[in-house]
Structure 1
Amino acid sequence: MIKYQFTKENNHIQEIKVTGHANYAEHGEDIVCAAVSTAIIVTANAIEVLNLKDKVQLDLDEGYFKLEVNQVDEIVEGLLTNLEYTLNDLEITYSQYIKNQKKEG
């Protein structure tokens, strides 16, 4: 199962963690893992292309993604909120394979 968590303080996303594998299907056939991976990579690439890497710290590996916000930024917040909406939508459709571990600060 993929588990994800958005930690917020004062309504701003401070940290994101995504871990695990969906096990929806075999490796290379798993559309849930592919969707989550794509959403994460699109977000990370947008942060890089928009020259916002100094505002966050990224750690990305197979089955693991962690992002910490170093400096609150409106564009970063928008990108991360979009990622949160995307993962929440995937959880609605594939709740057996992806779960939000909610944490509010």
Structure 2
Amino acid sequence: MIKASYLVENGIIQSIEISGHAEYDHSGKDIVCAAVSTAIIVTANAIELLDLNSNRELWIDEGYFKIEVLNNNEIVNKLLLNLEYTLYDLEKQYPKYIKNQKEG
């Protein structure tokens, strides 16, 4: 199962940590893992393309992603909210394979 946790302070996402594998299907055929991976990559690439890298710390590894906000920025927050909404939508469609949890 993929687990996503969100640390939120004063309505602003401070970090998102995502770990695990959906195990919906075999590697290469797992549409849940593919959807989560795509959402993560789109978010990370958008932050980079908008030259907002100084506002975040990022860790990516096999089955693991974490982003921490270093400097609050409205655009970064909206991109992270978009990632959160996407992952909650995926949880509604595939509740056995992804779980979201908010802290703070």
Runs of 4+ in 1 over 2 A off after TM superposition: none
How many residue pairs align between the two structures? 104
Supply the distance in 1 between the matched residues of 2:13 and 2:36 (Cα, whole angstroms): 18
* Structure 2, unpaired ranges of 5+: none
The residue identity in structure 2 corresponding to 1:12 is: I
The 5-angstrom pairing of residues 68-83 of structure 1 reads: 68-83=68-83
* Structure 1, unpaired ranges of 5+: none
| 1:60 correspondence with 2:60 | yes
Aligned to 1:95: 95
The 5-angstrom pairing of residues 26-37 of structure 1 reads: 26-37=26-37
Contact 2:5/2:102 (CA < 8 Å) preserved in 1? Answer: yes
The residue identity in structure 1 corresponding to 2:101 is: Q
| 1:17 correspondence with 2:8 | no
Give SS of 1:71's match: coil
Supply the distance in 2 between the matched residues of 1:19 and 1:26 (Cα, whole angstroms): 17
Contact 2:2/2:22 (CA < 8 Å) preserved in 1? Answer: yes
Q: TM-score, normalised by structure 1?
A: 0.98
Q: TM-score, normalised by structure 2?
A: 0.98
Q: What percentage of residue pairs aligned between the two structures are identical? A: 62
Task: Please give the root-mean-square deviation of Cα atoms over the aligned residues, in Å.
Answer: 0.5
